[in-house]
Chains A and B, each alone.
Chain A
């Protein structure tokens, strides 16, 4: 008689469980039901033929079988029929074992009890397994992976002490415990290892495992496909970026090259009557354009290093004014337009001097390019005890508030930049280097007021290092 014990408590059973405190309460309720029904029969007795009333005990046997199982149901049948026999079968208030109608009724009730209780158990078990699989499916689809929670759920439902689900493995080696391969469509997707198994329940496991395997197979496939989709998207995006870079850059590379080739070609020709002035002009064009190419290539290298995460700063303690001075030194051609100003005691910062110079050169070059040649560009350095601010101020057309974030992206040019040369890398590089060195850059002003770019760097104090 395994039906009583196989009705084990499990979550999600759709069948009602009047399990108030377990089996003892069940007996009490059954006894109450029998008593109540016996009493009710007493009331009905004057109106209906007595022998047929024994059938009413079905009303107690059915609930007992469904809820508590075979033992309760049989007990209810026996006690019920006995009560009926005692109270109602003639002679009344006496057990009459020769009343074969009652024996017949008892037999029928017992058979009913057996059938119904088995059906109830089977039904309950189906529900449990379905619930487990539903939960597994939900967990897999939600997390896309096998978690400890899932393994615990599986262990509970299969009646094992511990369960382990290994994905994507070949046949598992004996690690203690029962190993079941999880196969989907002939393909092994993983292995379940069950430990601390009770003897019974092997049949249940056999039933559940194929469905579990299918679910796992689906989950694994889904994960793999999601990964592939992500990789494909990343690749596509990086290709798109590369194409954009090539397009943006090829124009800016070819323009100076054309100028150089043309000028140098003219210089090299023997038939041309060039005076010193012409010659000097052509040569200066060659030098200027070559310088421009050099800067562009330098910018591209810097940008690619930044984007590849290969721009480790080599930090050194330097004075802010020295940085600005060194940067301005690199802008020989329009240096006269720049007006630097420093506080009396410029603070020190701990940065990579080369990278910071690039930041300042880019900011000042931008300021020079986007303002009139007749106007000065100011570089103002101020400091608090924690931060130093370097402001590069021009009085050109400025940048609209809506653009103030976008201009820091690579290859972005401001809307008013039609005639200004350059591939739009300067600010992206400046931001990259500034952040790599612990600083930040932002735009402080708006359209119509010119542009003020601010570079903030943390001040380096000797005392904090000791």
Chain B
């Protein structure tokens, strides 16, 4: 890949593991143990992606994100502890793109890295995608299932498309609502989650154990390949 990743974490063990894993997968890795060092490193050698821990000693993760976002559009993935989701939401609001909860599996981190690095243009030529037992044809706007065609409402299509084109990425509810037409109605009736439930019922093998259309409560939605 050779994309440059900047890892910002004050725990040397985590940094060591991340560097090993990332370099094994072909990423160039820069590391920083403090916020200030991180901003300096980012300015010196602009990264293609930033992984930042929220609990740093000198600066809060959210501040680092805000500083970076002043001049960089590189995707930012946040590492956070399990508890207070308020930090994660603040980080997303400040401009982070995704999050990974510690302790994380390296597979999960790598998948989110890949998703984050994928630019929208890279997936514009995805014509078809499998969801459950269904084949979703984005070009022809048709969903074919084992029992024939499945009807989706226009809003359901828009939501599905947006999630699919950002496969693997976390899309927050405000993000989704901005993109989708009929957003005012959805926001007012709070039926975005109902829409997701409907999609799951229509497309997933087991709506109770969704594999593709994932809701992360309090955070957002993700289409998992």
Contact = CB atoms under 8 A, between A and B. Distances in A.
Interface of A: 294, 298, 301, 314, 316-319, 321-326, 328, 340-342, 344-346, 348, 352-354, 356-357, 462
Contact of A340 (B82, B190, B194, B209): B209
A326 B193 CA distance: 14
Contacts of B82: 298, 354
Interface residues of B, number: 22
Interface of B: 82-86, 103, 188-190, 193-194, 197, 201, 207-210, 214-218
Nearest to A338: B209
A207 to B, nearest CB: 67
9 contacts: A318-B215, A318-B217, A319-B194, A324-B208, A326-B215, A342-B208, A345-B194, A346-B197, A356-B217
Contacts of A328: 209
A325 B193 contact: no
Contacts of B215: 318-319, 322, 325-326
A312 B132 CA distance: 38
Contact of A322 (B83, B86, B188, B193): B193
A381 B208 CA distance: 11
B220 to A, nearest CB: 11
A364 to B, nearest CB: 13
B197 A354 contact: no
Given A318-B215, A319-B215, A328-B209, 17 more contacts: A314-B84, A318-B217, A319-B193, A321-B197, A321-B208, A322-B217, A323-B217, A325-B210, A325-B214, A326-B217, A342-B207, A353-B85, A353-B217, A354-B83, A354-B84, A356-B217, A462-B188
B208 A348 contact: no
Contact of B208 (A317, A340, A354, A356): A340
B3 to A, nearest CB: 29
A83 to B, nearest CB: 101
Nearest to B207: A342
A324 B197 CA distance: 13
A87 B16 CA distance: 130
Contact of A325 (B86, B194, B209): B209
A357 B193 contact: no
A341 B103 contact: no
A462 B188 CA distance: 8
Given A317-B190, A318-B193, A348-B190, A354 B209 contact: no
Contact of A301 (B83, B190, B216): B83
Contacts of B85: 314, 352-354
Contacts of A325: 208-210, 214-215
Contacts of A345: 194, 197
A353 B83 CA distance: 10
Among A294, A317, A325, chain B packs the most CB atoms within 10 A around the CB of A325
Contacts of B207: 342
